[in-house]
């Protein structure tokens, strides 16, 4: 980021960090939540909180780590609140998204199967996989973002991959 | 394995690419952070150098979200009722709306095992850290130990406070391993000891709210007792003025009730409603009791749809400066 970061007022910080990270963070939250409207609210909440904490952060890298952790945490909390409702709706709900033209080498059905399998994972396994394979974060960064140990990240990741393996292999 | 990873990468990439963001997102964030500038025009008039207060004033903003089964007594906040009888602006918990939840972050889920529990956070009152309380609807069993565990888990979760002005004194990553209740006391097994007295008080008040009364809270880390906590005196610990309703970030109906409690000089507080930098309305709030008692007040407001900041504060008896501000952003639909 720019060398003048430390001189940013909270407002400037939000503006810069918005331009650089808002869209990816909304996409991250959407992958975790499967609800882009809610994802966007959560990311906005995270930026508002960042604004309040800027005095203590004063560093673009720390701020990004803060935003990421905040988004993951808020998504987790939103999911928890939604779970009961979802259980009731799960059977009635149609396939969530229209097939995407951007699915590339995968055909739409296989893409949807993987997305559905990901969605069925326990929250922390999904978090670990998304942070690793979507954001390409290191194990240490994933641990910091999720608020757990690196050992826990390893175990969430490998369990998540094991659960997805059958679906993935059918898709490849 | 590598092939699986590639497939997963492709799927995530493609799935993420479907997501577009709202064009007005930055404006929406700015509208919410702009309230931090409120003191520029306001403070020029209201702030003078002296800060001595003759009275302690606490404004508590509490949840506008319904708390029908809220059972957490909070003896420290004597004026805050255990339930919020105001007509709930959000759908009742039993309706479990599948779509379009209210703006409130902690939208309620259909009412199986969840309870509205008091969670204490740290806010600033005249430069001093003080405890402020929010009610969060959390999955929890009905026993006091399960409630205490749910509330402490929420307290330790990173950035779990609805109000961005509130933080936690606990380092991120601290976890609660178990809570047990024996008699009038509780034992909390944590992954780390409280880093300071403030963190200890946050824990003590949160556990006490779940259990009721003034329990002794033993903190055990790695099999060793590291602290024995009790609630400290409310006047030295809690934020002086609490805005109980509506809670930060909630959506309310056009006509709604503002519920405040506190201990302030001459039992008089002030409520300012702002939209951006414009003052929409200002009211004097007379609490039911003055110091040393804690009074409370309820007033009804009617506002056009939009996003507002409600500021509850008191004037210093010594110099007329603004004190004990607690503010919440609220959306009127």
pLDDT tens-digit profile of A104-147?
455 778 888 899 999 989 899 999 999 999 999 999 999 989 88
> A125 and A69, same structural domain?
no
CA distance A40 to chain B (A): 7
pLDDT of A92 over the 50 cut = no
CA distance A127 to chain B (A): 12
- Asked whether B126 and B325 are in contact (CB, 8 A), the reply is no
Q: How many CB pairs under 8 A join A and B?
A: 161
- Over residues B254-273, the pLDDT tens digits come to 999 998 988 888 888 999 99
CA distance B102 to chain A (A): 10
- Partner A, chain B 172-191, Cβ-Cβ below 8 Å: 172-173
Interchain pair B110, A134: CB under 8 A: no
pLDDT of B240 over the 50 cut = yes
> A49 and A89, same structural domain?
yes
Q: By CA distance, what is B21's nearest residue in A?
A: A23
Count of domains for chain A: 2
- Partner B, chain A 92-131, Cβ-Cβ below 8 Å: 97, 100, 102-106, 111, 114-115, 118, 129-130
- Segments forming the whole domain that contains residue A55: 1-93
Separation of alpha carbons B331 and B301, rounded Å: 13
User: Both tokens of residue A104?
Assistant: 């590339």
Interchain pair B139, A80: CB under 8 A: yes
Domains of chain B, start order: 34-51+239-332 (2.60.40.10)
> A150 and A81, same structural domain?
no
Domain boundary among A93, A125, A153: A93
Domain boundary among A93, A120, A138: A93
Show residues of chain B in contact with A82, CB under 8 Å.
Answer: 107, 109
Average pLDDT of the segment spanning B204-214: 91
CATH number (domain holding residue A135): 1.10.10.10
> A77 and A8, same structural domain?
yes
Q: By CA distance, what is A35's nearest residue in B?
A: B19
> A51 and A75, same structural domain?
yes
CA distance A3 to chain B (A): 23
Predicted ipTM beyond 0.90 = no
Residue scoring higher pLDDT (B210 or A7): B210
What is the distance between the terminal CA atoms of chain A, rounded to a whole angstrom?
38
Separation of alpha carbons A123 and A73, rounded Å: 11
In the DSSP assignment, the letter for residue B63 is: -
> A67 and A120, same structural domain?
no
Rg (CA), chain A: 17
- What is the rounded average pLDDT for all residues in chain B? 75
Cα→Cα distances A115→B44, B227, B228, B243, Å: 55, 46, 48, 43
Residue A73 has phi, psi (to 5 degrees) of: -65, -45
Residue scoring higher pLDDT (A84 or B243): B243
Interchain pair B98, A22: CB under 8 A: no
Interchain pair B96, A115: CB under 8 A: no
Separation of alpha carbons B195 and B223, rounded Å: 18
Question: How would you label B234-254 residue by residue, b for 16+ Cβ within 10 Å and e otherwise?
Answer: beebbbbbbbbbbbbbbbbbe
> A85 and A14, same structural domain?
yes
User: Both tokens of residue A66?
Assistant: 């803060």
CA distance A82 to chain B (A): 6
Beta strands per DSSP E along chain B:
58-59, 114-125, 128-139, 176-182, 185-190, 216-221, 224-229, 241-245, 251-252, 255-262, 268-275, 278-286, 295-302, 306-315, 322-332
- Partner B, chain A 32-51, Cβ-Cβ below 8 Å: 36, 38-42, 44-49, 51
Return the sign of the alpha-carbon dihedral for residues B128, B130, B134, B136.
positive
Separation of alpha carbons B297 and B280, rounded Å: 20
pLDDT of B37 over the 60 cut = no
Separation of alpha carbons B218 and B220, rounded Å: 6
Average pLDDT of the segment spanning B186-212: 93
Separation of alpha carbons B86 and B250, rounded Å: 14
Q: By CA distance, what is A130's nearest residue in B?
A: B12
> A171 and A115, same structural domain?
yes
> A110 and A46, same structural domain?
no
Which of A48, A97, A172 comes nearest B33 by C-beta? A48
**Residue A104 Rama label (left phi>0; alpha psi -120 to 50; beta):** left
The predicted pLDDT at position B261 comes to: 86
Domain boundary among A50, A72, A93: A93
Q: Is the previous residue joined to B186 through a cis bond, with omega within 30 degrees of 0?
A: no
> A138 and A82, same structural domain?
no
Interchain pair B25, A40: CB under 8 A: yes
- Asked whether A75 and A45 are in contact (CB, 8 A), the reply is no
> A109 and A82, same structural domain?
no
Contacts of A49 (CB under 8 A, 6+ apart): A70, B159, B164
Residue scoring higher pLDDT (A109 or B111): A109
The predicted pLDDT at position B55 comes to: 32
> A14 and A87, same structural domain?
yes
- Sequence-separated contacts (24+) of B111-114 with Cβ below 8 Å: B111/B68, B111/B69, B112/A84, B113/B139, B113/B140, B113/B141, B113/B142, B114/A84, B114/B138, B114/B139, B114/B140
Interchain pair B15, A77: CB under 8 A: no
**Mean pLDDT highest for which of A137-146, A162-171, B21-30, B320-329?**
A137-146
Which of A22, A44, A147 comes nearest B173 by C-beta? A147
- Partner A, chain B 18-47, Cβ-Cβ below 8 Å: 18-19, 21-22, 25-26, 28-30, 32-33, 36
């Amino acid at each position: 980021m720019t060398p003048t970061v430390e001189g940013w007022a909270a407002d400037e910080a939000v503006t810069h960090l918005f331009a650089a990270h808002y869209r990816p963070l909304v996409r991250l939250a959407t992958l975790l939540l499967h609800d882009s409207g809610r994802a966007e609210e959560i990311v906005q909440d995270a930026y508002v909180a960042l604004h309040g904490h800027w005095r203590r952060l004063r560093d673009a890298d720390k701020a990004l780590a803060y935003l990421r952790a905040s988004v993951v945490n808020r998504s987790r909390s939103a999911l928890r609140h939604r779970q009961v409702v979802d259980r009731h709706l799960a059977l009635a709900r149609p396939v969530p998204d229209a097939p995407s033209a951007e699915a590339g080498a995968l055909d739409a059905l296989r893409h949807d199967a993987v997305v559905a399998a990901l969605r069925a994972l326990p929250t922390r396994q999904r978090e670990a996989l998304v942070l690793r394979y979507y954001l390409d974060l290191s194990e240490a960064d994933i641990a910091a973002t999720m608020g757990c140990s690196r050992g826990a990240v390893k175990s969430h990741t490998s369990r998540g991959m094991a659960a997805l393996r059958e679906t993935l292999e059918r898709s490849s | 394995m590598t092939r699986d990873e590639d497939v997963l990468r492709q799927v995530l990439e493609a799935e993420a690419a479907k997501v577009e963001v709202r064009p007005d997102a930055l404006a929406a964030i700015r509208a919410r952070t702009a309230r931090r500038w409120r003191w520029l025009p306001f403070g020029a008039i209201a702030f003078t150098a002296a800060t001595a207060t003759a009275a302690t004033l606490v404004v508590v903003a509490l949840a506008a979200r319904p708390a029908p089964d809220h059972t957490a007594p909070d003896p420290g906040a004597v004026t805050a009722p255990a339930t919020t009888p105001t007509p709930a602006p959000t759908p009742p918990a039993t309706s479990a709306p599948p779509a379009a939840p209210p703006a409130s972050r902690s939208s309620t889920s259909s009412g199986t095992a969840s309870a509205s529990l008091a969670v204490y956070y740290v806010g600033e009152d005249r430069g001093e850290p003080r405890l402020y309380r929010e009610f969060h609807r959390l999955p929890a069993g009905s026993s006091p130990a399960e409630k205490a565990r749910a509330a402490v888990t929420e307290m330790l979760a990173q950035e779990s406070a609805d109000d961005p002005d509130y933080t936690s004194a606990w380092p991120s990553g601290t976890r609660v391993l178990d809570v047990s209740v024996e008699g009038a006391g509780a034992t909390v097994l944590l992954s780390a000891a409280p880093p300071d007295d403030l963190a200890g008080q946050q824990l003590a008040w949160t556990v006490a709210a779940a259990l009721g009364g003034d329990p002794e809270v033993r903190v055990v880390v790695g099999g060793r007792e590291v602290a024995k906590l009790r609630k400290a005196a409310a006047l030295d610990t809690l934020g002086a003025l609490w805005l109980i309703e509506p809670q930060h970030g909630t959506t309310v109906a056009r006509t709604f009730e503002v519920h405040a409690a506190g201990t302030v000089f001459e039992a008089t507080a002030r409520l300012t409603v702002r939209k951006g930098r414009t003052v929409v309305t200002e009211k004097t709030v007379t609490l039911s009791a003055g110091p040393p008692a804690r009074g409370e007040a309820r007033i009804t407001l009617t506002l056009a749809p939009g996003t507002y900041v409600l500021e509850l504060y008191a004037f210093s008896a010594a110099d007329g400066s603004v004190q004990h501000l607690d503010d919440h952003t609220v959306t009127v639909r």
